[in-house]
A and B are shown apart, each in its own frame.
Chain A
Amino acid sequence: MDKKLEPIVQALQEKYATSIEEFRDEVHVFVKAENIVDALTLLRDKYDFELLSALTASDYWPQQSPRFHVIYQLSSIARNITVQLRVPVNGDQPKVLTATRVYDVANWRERELLDMFGIEFEGHPDPRRILMPEGTEGHPLRKDFPLGYEEPQFTFNIDEIDLHKPYAKE
């Protein structure tokens, strides 16, 4: 582990009783869902992690606990270090506290996770889908969502295919 990162990880461990994984010099800190906003605030204010580089998730279906990991990739520009926080969440309707009050970029990124994984962020100011059209059923990046093949529509068969096309209609 990077020398500069050791005290930070230690502080996180003492405060939030987290576990740690290391792989190829990357540090992954596991944080409980109820602590994530506090942990992010601590990292931003005390340890200069100004940039939420990435906010994403991973689905471990059919495993149910935890089913998802919500992943926060943080960068500190002042110290030139990175750390990853991972929040394991259970079940099919997972809920995590929103990080929009800590990082503005979390607004769109959390909407993306809501759209793609169906992870609900409590307290999000604008919980709409972001990439998929309004009224889409299901969450495409979940592992139980099939990678479907869609028939191409041409002028001669557009209505015929539209009848059994599995997307939202009126």
Chain B
Amino acid sequence: MAQIEEVDVEQFKHLVSERALTGETMLLNMGPQHPSTHGVLRLLLELDGETVINCISDIGYLHTGIEKNMEAKTYIKAEVMSDRLDYMNTMGNNLAYVLAVEKLVDLDVPPRAQAIRVILTELQRIASHLVFLGAFGLDLAAMSVFLYCFREREAILDIAELCSGQRMMTTYFRPGGLWRDVPVEFETAVRAFLKMFPKRVDEYEALLTKNPILLDRTVGIGKLDVPTALQHGVTGPPLRASGLNWDLRKARPYSGYEQYDFNIPTRTEGDTFARYIVRIEEFRESLKIVEQALNKLPMGPINSDNRKFVPPPRSELGVSMEALIHHFKLWTEGFPAPKASVYSAVESPRGELGVYLEGDGGPKPHRVHWRTPSFDNLSALEKMSRGHLVADLVAILASIDIVLGDIDR
């Protein structure tokens, strides 16, 4: 068994101030097993009393080699790994990956599949923000919000289970369309959610938004200005809370987002409270998108009819020799993709989720890189937390809304 070592100050010497070496300030280890680091994040804090002077993130505890693993699988099978990245936004990860594959092999997607993809990713965005809100409340000692949020999240996970058979690891979107059409109960379930949820958002707001304890803990804490945010590649709600209206759904629409009428909530303060408010507003905007998409959900096929990339339906296998050949070829060998690379990005609940996908002419990707928003957003934590109390650091970290699976890949 490997021996447990004490932290060696030498290796962090260039990252902490000189006062730490003389013992004037304290080095404190926070995590990786800590309830407020949202997973296995380790922070090495340099403290002067209770004030954070330096905050060094140590990541990699959840590194699972997803990029390397995807290189060893065919394009269809590699999608399963994408669910395991950001486990709060599985449908969004699927979407980012299938859009990249579709761009690489130039595959079209029928409108019905696109609309269903939009509905499900927006519901997933709500579910992800609910986990944010619950955990954020929990970190600020508002226990009850957590329970309410998880109650509503369960309704969304039920819808995901209805469609894909899985609550979280869905792999429901496939290159060229969907795994299968949504069941008949889908519309009723989503409509019930649309009816129930707006009132619940008001309830959360009644619990938190004007709560003096929450305001004391969040207003003016962890300020991030736009230039710093951009330097650190911060995207998503933290960037919009700083005042820059940047959302890929509006800027570079994909999957038919240009058809829907919705706003991008922004704030200018850039503090913890602004990041909270932006996400609350995004609940309402996402609901708008889901409602519009559901109202004009077109009928028709849910998969591209390009049989070189999309497996034929089960019903054809018994009657068509060609279908049988395609089925066999696609599930054993997979489809080849050109020797070229694409970068395609979607707006995940956390920011710009990009996939760099490079083919080598064969059925397996040569390189898959995930540009994950949490990774870049976390890199700004050091600047945001400097000069604040340790208790506020917890609130700032919660307001960035990191997912460690997304950071470590």
Contact = CB atoms under 8 A, between A and B. Distances in A.
A97 B260 CA distance: 44
B354 A73 contact: yes
Nearest to B65: A140
Contacts of B60: 129-133
Q: For the complex, would chain B's binding face be called helix, strand, loop or mixed by DSSP majority?
A: mixed
Interface string B3-16: 10000000100110
Contact of A169 (B2, B104, B106, B367): B2
Interface stretch (B19-27, B150-158, B244-252): B244-252
Contacts of B252: 80
A53 B358 CA distance: 17
A159 B1 CA distance: 7
A170 B63 contact: no
A122 interface: no
Interface residues of A, number: 42
B391 interface: no
B68 A128 contact: no
B59 A128 contact: no
Contacts of B63: 131-132
A104 B367 contact: no
A108 B371 CA distance: 12
Find the residue from B14, B104, B235, B356 having the highest chain A CB count within 10 A.
B356
A28 B356 CA distance: 13
B46 interface: no
A8 interface: no
Contacts of A54: 343, 354, 356, 369, 371
Interface stretch (B225-233, B281-289, B315-323, B327-335): B225-233
A20 interface: no
Interface string A46-87: 000011111010110000000000010100010010101000
Given A54-B354, A58-B358, 14 more contacts: A24-B342, A51-B230, A53-B233, A53-B354, A58-B341, A73-B343, A104-B228, A104-B379, A105-B379, A108-B376, A131-B408, A132-B63, A133-B60, A159-B1
Interface of B: 1-3, 11, 14-15, 59-60, 63, 65, 67-69, 71-72, 103-104, 106, 228, 230-233, 235, 244, 246, 251-252, 340-343, 345, 352, 354, 356, 358, 366-367, 369, 371, 375-376, 379, 408-409
